[in-house]
Amino acid sequence: IRMDLFKKGGGKTESDRLGVPLLGQIPISQDIMETTDSGSPIVDTHPDSHIGVIYKDIAKKIIDLLNV
């Protein structure tokens, strides 16, 4: 189930307004809540999950932008 917590397209609208790239859209998830509560990053506990992949894609975009 996809639920838009904020106004649909709000992240893209805001990134355009600020002149910055939209790095990604992270869905609200029970897995994120559980791993946050346990202190373990979801990219460690569920690295190949849909959300884990989204986080890794965002991290790659940041690294590419910084030319690290």
Cα 19 off chain centre by:
19
What is the SS3 assignment for 58?
helix
What confidence category does residue 3 fall into, taking pLDDT thresholds of 50, 70 and 90? low
| Rounded alpha-carbon distances, angstroms, from residue 52 to 8, 12, 13, 15, 49 | 22, 21, 25, 22, 5
Mean pLDDT of 38-65: 94
Distance CA 28, CA 7 (A): 14
Q: What predicted TM-score, i.e. pTM, was given to this entire model?
A: 0.77
* Residue 22 pLDDT: 93
Mean pLDDT of 9-21: 90
